Structure 1
Amino acid sequence: MNITKKTIIGFLFCIIPFGISAQDYVSKVWVSDLGNGNYKNPVLYADYSDPDACRVGDDYYMTASSFNCIPGLPILHSKDLVNWTIIGYAINKMPKDASFGKGVNHGGSVWAPAIRYHKGEFYIYYGDPDLGIFMTKAKDPAGEWEPLTLVKEGKGLIDACPLFDDDGQVYLAHAYAGSRAGIKSLLAVTRLTPDGKKAVGESKIIYDGHDIDPTIEGPKFYKRNGYYYIFAPAGGVATGWQLAMRSGNIFGPYERKVVMDQGKTVINGPHQGAWIDTKTGEDWFLHFQDVGAFGRVMHLQPMIWKNDWPVIGEDKDGDGCGNPVLTYKKPNVGQAYPVATPPESDEFNSNTLGLQWQWHANPQSWWYFTNQEKGCLSLYSVPVANDYKSLWDVPNLLLQKTPAPAFIATVKLTFRPDARFYGERTGLVVMGIDYALLSFENTKDGFVLSQNECINAEKGNKEIVNESITMKESTIYLRVKVIADATWIFSYSTDNKRYTDLGKSFKAKEGKWIGAKIGTFCTRPVLKNDGGRVDIDWFRITE
């Protein structure tokens, strides 16, 4: 019997319910759950920066900044705060008037969201530093979210978080981006309409951090025991601390207290996140840590309340300021749940893209075809601009977050360029301000495989070739291995058995407010009425 990939796919669909594979996926390179009742930090070694979360019954839902990546506003789900899966996105495509609707807006658009559950609906607010504060909502967090609503227009308004008060009033805390507003280190509160869709009047400054809490931002709004609380990071992304502020009046004045800092730990800049409780009465705090090229990875810290102040992490000296933990007992959520992680590898056997994938900017529907019958992903070549210098501003990069400090990524692809012209190419790319790739190009001399890099791509520098070879085969396996200190080594194979290194090692660098990402693309240098494609059989992350 001739068993093909298509036959196997059909058999699996008969015995496995749709969707279960995503929920049951377990990473081969990073698992936080230690299997003995404890967990290790980070709970997600991936760039889920500025995380915020809410609990609804036994379920936890989280979102994070997505900046220029689409789909945006990822929605993650967990039962125990340690094992997380992606269940969808709140933004499928940015509206035309959004700042990156026409191209790649590096580091812009979706900053520091907050997710809340109120009267049977989920709400997400975020700041676009160029346009203002937006909101969307949904009854089902894994389903379709409403079109974006501009809640408060204004340049430099960022890091928005709502509070639905006991008396029916709705308020919003936000910060200011110095790069756009011309001022920072301030927090403000504004009143919203009862439906939460529009700001009422002007914002009122409720805290000035210039003197002792520079770059205070990312406010998260809560109410407990008659106090209004604002949790906020200060001191800088990689170097700061976590504050809590409280007041009996929503517009202040607010007392402040540092409730977590790095101390003598290796977890730098521990801040910006979400207070979460459990049905069993425990309190926890999700936050990020900036680890350079890998972005801002997510940690989980124990939290307690003392004298109506939160203490986050371990407070060994009893001063009310905790330090982050690397390992700890898992939250008590009433029962044990199976290990699960966001998906990384993809066999492209579905009629939709895996939830780990994001485009560099707003996609066109014709850029790709999820060919379930063949079990592959087809990417069609997209024309690049006449003044093309590098992949930095190419929107049809299909990328995912790096999932661990060390791993191997391998892609099997078959290149099918248009025979009418040369210059179409595909490949495997590690994308950041500095980037590198294996480029597989159709030239007048045939297929050419090269290892290329571009240093300071954001400054308009051109991509250079480190080493190249001609290839006869159109099907090829491309591989990159990341080792200590974010160093990447590229190799290739024609049989997936023997791999040959190509070019030189590459020191990755983060993107604009995001970690380095890894993925693929297909481009062409000319605008014709048609072009070629690449068929990607699979993309696998391994040790």
Structure 2
Amino acid sequence: MVHLNRRGALGSLLTGAAVAAVPAAAEAAEAAVPCPAPAATWAKGIEGQRKADLGDGTFLNPILAGDHPDPSILKDGGVYYMTHSSFDAYPGLLIWRSTDLVNWTPVVTTLKTNVGSVWAPELCKHQGRYYIYLPAKFPDRNTSYVIWADAIEGPWSEPVDLKLPRYIDPGHVVDEHGVRWLFLSGGDRIQLAADGLSTVGAPEHVYDPWRYPDDWDVEGFSPEGPKVMKRSDWYYLVTAVGGTAGPPTGHMVIVARSKSLAGPWENDPKNPVVRTTNNAEKWWSRGHATLVEGPAGDWWTVYHGYENSFYTLGRQTLLAPVAWTKDGWFEVGGGDLSKPLPKPKGGKPGPHGLALSDDFSADKYGVQWNFFNPGPREHKRLSRAGGVLTLKGAGEAPSTGAPLIFVNGDQAYEIECEIEVDPDTRAGLILFYDRQLYCGLGFDAKAFVTHQYGIERGRPANPHGSRMLMRLRNDRHIVSFHTSGDGGATWKRFDRGMEVSGYHHNVRGGFLMLKPGLYAAGQGSARFRGFKYRALG
């Protein structure tokens, strides 16, 4: 991805071979970040959310609905692992697990230290150790880090700064001599040390990416997302060009091959191998692809795309078949992916997703719930006991605090929760893009607080007092609210509706998603009970 201008609040904490000095207070604070509960406690179902596996030997994209962009996939024996850009959400870089490429369950969240907005990571394994290479941006700096673990479940190391200020989207590969490399945006590469925790020498340019015709509707050239693999005598370099968003026909996948990682690289005469060609297609801006061998030895690719008319859901993870041709290139099948496809053969289906309703009996922090761009002690605001989630207030509104949000993948859904506030505290339900663009409804003991376009729009009287049930419904961008002061026996529709189809990247920038969530602001705390998520038909 390109041209991101995100925010940040905390420098990196580094351990291992390349340790940088950090404030002791920050280090102590981050060391106390809690770990999420084991997977069995939160993989309980998907409550009507979209599921790719149709149960008849076919699947319908997306394989991971909602904002799961820049997929990086690793085949590890008979198991597949995948992670995605997590941007400003912390804890971040959630790893998913599958044995059939279609059904996915969460495994572990790997990144707890706020190193900035994190995008286009690379998950790989080398000599028994797992690595994630991750670009990160603060407003005043850009670099790439690496974290590592000896088991996929962790523990994962603190980030090590690779000191690559001009690059994004690293792709890991090992050459025929056993030397490790990162391929970078723009057609450059840099050598890695043997342990993968530092770089050797300076970046070098080895590839001039294929360029589309000048009359195509694209966002910009933006060569990014290089993924390199070897098959037979050839190295294949899969790259995205055309810009991540902008016109739906912009983002695309191109391929080049070479007998050496140093080049020369030969462009596929059929480039691009993936592209949205018409605005009527189901999936827009398709790109950032990685090839992976399926359970039965056939080949597939994962990449991301925006859903037609639902930019608000972010870029979702898609799966398509790959066929190798006699001339040593490959073709990507599936068309625009609007129809069911045969599932990969040989895989064993497992559970998919996680329950988004939360009775707060198990710890889903970092797996479902994430803070947006948190400060170094943000997790201290959060506590859970006896089926109650307590969230200390921060700032005066979501624009000056860090709300607690999550990724979902439905075009229509509702969330519901009982909320109780202390004096001088406001809390509620929101749909949050970033601190300048969100909507929702909150309250204190005397008045409601309406949020729209990222600003406070009104404070009508609150007849329920300091405790109420609140429901937020997003029915294909039409947002409504209901409240109840008698435990749900009666509900009253709130007298302000909203339309949120424009709460997305092509309006605001940032490559994010409009996420549902909770917020608490002011001097006291808010208590949340019985959070419910329901997908609507």
Alignment check: 8 A CA contact 1:237 1:290 kept? no
Q: Cα offset for 1:18?
A: 6.3
Which residue, 122, 128, 136 being the options, matches 1:114?
A: 122
Alignment check: 8 A CA contact 2:210 2:254 kept? no
CA distance in 2, matches of 1:227, 1:34: 36
2:532 is aligned with 1:540: yes
Partner in structure 1 of residue 236 of structure 2 = 229
2:271 is aligned with 1:261: no
Partner in structure 2 of residue 155 of structure 1 = 165
Partner in structure 2 of residue 489 of structure 1 = 480
Partner in structure 2 of residue 127 of structure 1 = 135
Q: How does 1:316-327 map to 2 (within 5 A)?
A: 323-324=336-337, 326-327=339-340
Which residue, 81, 84, 108 being the options, matches 1:88?
A: 108
1:405 alignment partner AA: Q
Q: Cα offset for 1:393?
A: 4.3
Q: Cα offset for 1:282?
A: 1.5
Alignment check: 8 A CA contact 1:352 1:370 kept? no
Q: Cα offset for 1:310?
A: 2.3
Aligned CA-pair RMSD: 2.2
Q: Secondary structure at the match of 1:366?
A: helix
CA distance in 2, matches of 1:59, 1:210: 33
CA distance in 2, matches of 1:535, 1:391: 17
Q: Secondary structure at the match of 1:28?
A: coil
Alignment check: 8 A CA contact 2:120 2:135 kept? yes
Q: Cα offset for 1:148?
A: 0.8
Partner in structure 2 of residue 379 of structure 1 = 391
CA distance in 2, matches of 1:354, 1:118: 26
CA distance in 1, matches of 2:38, 2:121: 30
Alignment check: 8 A CA contact 1:259 1:312 kept? yes
CA distance in 1, matches of 2:367, 2:241: 32
CA distance in 2, matches of 1:147, 1:65: 17
CA distance in 2, matches of 1:480, 1:377: 19
2:517 alignment partner AA: G
2:259 alignment partner AA: G
- Range moving further from structure 2, 200-209 or 51-60: 200-209
Alignment check: 8 A CA contact 1:85 1:343 kept? no
Partner in structure 2 of residue 181 of structure 1 = none
Q: How does 1:501-516 map to 2 (within 5 A)?
A: 501-502=493-494, 503-508=496-501, 509-510=503-504, 512-516=510-514
Distance verdict in 2 for CA 1:259–1:57, change over 3 Å: same
1:113-149 deviations in Å (ceiling 9; x for gaps): 0111222111111212433221111122222211111
Q: Cα offset for 1:24?
A: 3.7
CA distance in 2, matches of 1:328, 1:21: 32
2:181 alignment partner AA: Y
Q: How does 1:241-252 map to 2 (within 5 A)?
A: 241-252=252-263
Q: Cα offset for 1:53?
A: 0.7
Which residue, 440, 444, 462 being the options, matches 2:443?
A: 440
Q: Cα offset for 1:329?
A: 1.1
Q: Percent of aligned positions with the same letter in both sequences? A: 24
Partner in structure 2 of residue 340 of structure 1 = 352
Distance verdict in 2 for CA 1:189–1:120, change over 3 Å: same
Q: Cα offset for 1:430?
A: 0.5
Q: Secondary structure at the match of 2:223?
A: coil
Alignment check: 8 A CA contact 2:59 2:340 kept? yes
Alignment check: 8 A CA contact 2:100 2:347 kept? no
CA distance in 2, matches of 1:447, 1:58: 58
2:367 is aligned with 1:367: no
Runs of at least 5 residues in structure 2 that lack an aligned partner in the other structure: 1-36, 214-220
CA distance in 1, matches of 2:364, 2:209: 46
2:127 alignment partner AA: K
1:268 alignment partner AA: W
TM-score by length of 1: 0.81
Partner in structure 1 of residue 432 of structure 2 = 431
Distance verdict in 2 for CA 1:43–1:72, change over 3 Å: same
2:485 is aligned with 1:469: no
Q: Cα offset for 1:165?
A: 2.7
1:439 alignment partner AA: G
Partner in structure 1 of residue 405 of structure 2 = 399
Distance verdict in 2 for CA 1:540–1:472, change over 3 Å: closer
Alignment check: 8 A CA contact 1:451 1:490 kept? no
Distance verdict in 2 for CA 1:50–1:474, change over 3 Å: same
1:394-444 deviations in Å (ceiling 9; x for gaps): 2x2100013211111112222233xxxx3x211101012531111112xxx
Partner in structure 2 of residue 5 of structure 1 = none
Distance verdict in 2 for CA 1:120–1:222, change over 3 Å: same
1:505 alignment partner AA: M
Q: Cα offset for 1:356?
A: 1.0
Distance verdict in 2 for CA 1:19–1:208, change over 3 Å: closer
Runs of at least 5 residues in structure 1 that lack an aligned partner in the other structure: 1-16, 101-108, 176-185, 315-321, 525-530
1:93-116 deviations in Å (ceiling 9; x for gaps): 22xxx4x4xxxxxxxx31200111
Partner in structure 1 of residue 91 of structure 2 = 71
Q: Cα offset for 1:161?
A: 1.2
- Range moving further from structure 2, 401-410 or 18-27: 18-27
Q: Cα offset for 1:478?
A: 1.4
Distance verdict in 2 for CA 1:414–1:523, change over 3 Å: same
2:438 alignment partner AA: Y
1:354-411 deviations in Å (ceiling 9; x for gaps): 611110123524201121xx111111122x2xxx6x52342x2100013211111112
Q: Secondary structure at the match of 2:312?
A: helix
2:441 alignment partner AA: L
CA distance in 2, matches of 1:409, 1:470: 20
Q: How many residue pairs are counted as aligned between the two chains?
A: 465
Which residue, 515, 519, 522 being the options, matches 1:521?
A: 519
- Range moving further from structure 2, 117-126 or 353-362: 353-362
CA distance in 1, matches of 2:47, 2:400: 31
CA distance in 2, matches of 1:21, 1:116: 27
1:493-531 deviations in Å (ceiling 9; x for gaps): 22224332221223151262111111112111xxxxxx4
Distance verdict in 2 for CA 1:65–1:351, change over 3 Å: closer
